[in-house]
Structure 1
Amino acid sequence: MASYILRLSEANYYESPHWILRLVSCSANRVLKFALDRSKVTKLSQLTGIDDRLLQSKAFRAIRGHYFISYEVNQKATHLCPKCLKESSYARFLWDVEINKVCHIHRCNLVNKCPQCRQTIKWLRPSIIKCRCGFDFRDSAVTNATDSQVNFALYRAGCWGNSECMKLAKAAYGEDNPLFCLSFKQFEQLSSFLKFDIGVCLRHQGDLRMSQEVLNKFHTKSNLLSSQELVFDFFQGWKHNINYLFQWHEDNSIGKNSTRHTILTMVFRFVELSSLLPINCFLSRQLEIALRKYLCSYNVIQIEIVYRYSNGYCREKLDLDRIEDWLPRVGGMLDCSKLTLTRLIWVCQHIKSLRWLKGCSAWQIVLNRPLTKLIEFKSKFVTL
């Protein structure tokens, strides 16, 4: 959409898109916000005679199945690829997405400043290929992107509908990688959860298998490395890295905290990570198996759940060594046939308490939230 506005401005001999934006009542310094507003796009359609549905399809609100919101879009400035502009003088929509820093086609970093005047590249400029100072962006020098950056750019473009890019990302990371079960929104949530843990582990010389180029940028605190690139690279060796990260957390907790605190902390990590993944993906199933083994290793033998009915509450104590017997029954009562232990703990808002059973020298988990056969429970479960 922004590319169209620039070309429309240039075709009508305006010095910048400022006057086009004024005609549709849009602030001159918010050119990309325009593409997020349906009413303004419709007004432009009426002014130009271009079919409204065609222009709406070019808007940022919904491009290739991904819905953008304002903070995801560079609203005042943009990036661009000089090599792409040499091939064809139009702006690509991915250049305007905040996290996009690499051209996956030419394997180079996008340019965000004019080499001549050193100013940030704005959308309010004479044409797609020229800066306000007169410099032709096609003449800009570019720097090569790293393999990790390119793979992440391919994955990102694949999530937004480019099947060829997704094929290339899968070729680099493997078809069975759990990342490919996720939407990009789910990946962003996963990144938010894992980035701190990965960073702390790397700072303490944890044995994570990461690309050397990523490690170099991480240790030099390079602004070229985003948290999402860090997490994406982490998943290239995901089988080793996830196992190591959990073991690293447990080893660090055992020496500093009580057994109770260690168990609760580790269960939280299993459950939170699992909640960010589709329930049927391979990693979710592995986390379920790992959680059960972990609880067994600490002699956690029982889980207590509470049902809420109109006339009161009912408590039930369930033995974890018989989980295959009672889990389907509980799932049936809640109208959730795919219920797992990790999801049960998560939906119950984790653990209320961890009790020490003196008589059998073991632990009992008491879940926090009473269960009820409510639509709320099912809707929260299936949204995953």
Structure 2
Amino acid sequence: MNNQSEQYQRLSQLIEVACDYRGWTKMQLANALQRDPGSVLPRSGNPKLDYLTRLADVLEWPVGEVAAVLNGPGLDPLLPDRDDCQPTMEELGGLEYQQAIANALESQRAGSYPAVIRYAQRATNLAKSGQQVAVALQYAATGWQYLGRSTIALDLLNQAMAQQNVSATLSRTLQSNVSECYYSLWRLPEARALSAELIETIGRLESADRYDRSSEAFAHYVCGNTIRRQVGLDDAHATSLAETGIEYLQRCISLYDTLRSDVDASQTADGVIRTCRGAIMELEVVLGRRLAIEVLRIIESGLDDIVEVDSYPRNDLLESYGWWCIFGCNIAHRHMDGPEKQRFLAQFTMKGYEVADRLENWSMRERLFTLDHFRRQALDDAGKAMEEWVLHPSEVRVISGTMGRFPHFRKVGWSIIESANVIRD
């Protein structure tokens, strides 16, 4: 295939992605591109700048990103959320700072993260000190992080840390949030270094309040799971990494157990503790302390608790079941062979998708798409017929959104879209 035909094919796929993203017909897309319906796709596959500009507007990508896709392999979109999360005077105009912060906290507890961002933006506009600005920016970052926009969250947290006269306690909390962003973006060295440094800093304090204890517990969660991810990338040091990761995760469990009396921490403690226990089991398989099949059956039996995912509350406990599915996929992928491996991978990815969709958890979606891709690829490598990706436009939209949120996923995501059979009405 020559370069021109490859570019034509990529442009054709981009047009399909644009229709899926907007939920449009080809006629509607033609109107937006100011093209005749019969010439939405230029025959040359080499569109002019005005066409690229309009297509970029439809996709809500920078023009340069659209051009990059056409000029070479890979997809590098930044798909903003449909809700621009900006406050309106009608909704927020009468709020004072403290009420806006209180509403942001209430929305966070309810899992309404666009609302968290709206209230946090209002609070930022009303803030009268560096401390108040930093608190408001932290809430906004939390909202964006839960929506899978870790790069936006990271920028907001850096702004918060740059404010003047921010308390040492809040600075440490912000540092724990930054380490989570690095973890979500698979910037593992930064996540590990920052969380470990925070643990050491809090450990040197003569006394620590509940906020520092919460930051310390969360830093152990980030550090332990970061090391767990590093195990899969470093076979030479897998044993020592697994042992260290277990130590951090066990300490995390202990710390969260002591935080149960705190109202805010108690809402997350059960879910975090359960997630840590699943992560520990994954590492114990690496160390040979548990058999892979034993742990996989434990994870499988736990799925009986969430048969009807759509009726389960959106909370940290449900999230833990999703992460257990991912831990199970990791174990099956690395330690199993044959039909049993495929069965566990298919079962855990299917249930994991249900949990991720229920929670709209983009980090979980990224892992599941990647592991599902590896599962199908393994069939092909074994000389068996590769299972076809069959996607609906809504699923293409989710994959595109995942690609925009996680740069390391773009190659896998583009491979999925290229090979998929997209079912259209």
TM-score (normalised: structure 1): 0.28
Q: Which has the higher helix share?
A: 2
Q: Which has the higher Rg, Structure 1 or Structure 2?
A: 1
TM-score (normalised: structure 2): 0.26
Larger RCO (alpha carbons 8 Å, 6+ apart): 2
